């Protein structure tokens, strides 16, 4: 191989190595964001379960306050990337927790204010101030 051939081969290897570094860097960033999303989804799920458990051990006023926290956007997952489906996981857990707490309140109060949290919160936690 001639000197020109070696220079061309070396240049191609450098370009190929640079492309490989860029590709691996992109995968690294994707992995970092996926790990962050997984952690945030885990923390949101853990918080929702904690609030659900607290509600199911509380009187009706405290249970309604927990319901307000569960139903609120304070446990916000809107920024999670949809292609990883963590948002859907957390939202389904939120819906299940809302349902469980409403059933608990129905049992505890003997009333039926519907399946949506708004009337329950207004009736039993309406005077609770939010920070």
| pLDDT tens, position by position, 71-96 | 986 666 666 666 667 888 888 999 99
Task: Provide the whole-model pTM.
Answer: 0.71
**Domain regions of the chain by residue span:** 37-125
Give 41-76 pLDDT, tens digit per residue. Answer: 888 889 999 999 999 999 999 999 999 999 986 666
CA dihedral (103, 78, 84, 82) in degrees, to 10, reads: 110
**pLDDT given for residue 28 in this prediction:** 59
Contact (CB, 8 A) for 36 and 80: no
Contact (CB, 8 A) for 71 and 121: yes
Q: For tokens 């990337």, name the residue.
A: 81
């Amino acid at each position: 191989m001639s000197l020109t051939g070696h220079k061309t081969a070396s240049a191609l290897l450098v370009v190929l190595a640079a492309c490989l570094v860029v590709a691996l860097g992109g995968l690294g960033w994707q992995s970092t964001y996926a790990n962050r999303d997984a952690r945030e989804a885990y923390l949101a799920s853990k918080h929702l379960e904690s609030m659900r458990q607290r509600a199911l051990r509380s009187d009706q006023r405290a249970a309604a306050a927990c319901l307000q926290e569960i139903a609120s956007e304070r446990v916000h997952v809107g920024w999670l990337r949809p292609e990883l489906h963590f948002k859907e996981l957390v939202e389904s857990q939120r819906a299940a927790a809302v349902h469980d707490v409403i059933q608990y309140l129905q049992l505890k109060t003997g009333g039926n204010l519907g399946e949506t949290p708004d009337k329950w919160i207004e009736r039993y936690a309406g005077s609770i101030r939010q920070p």
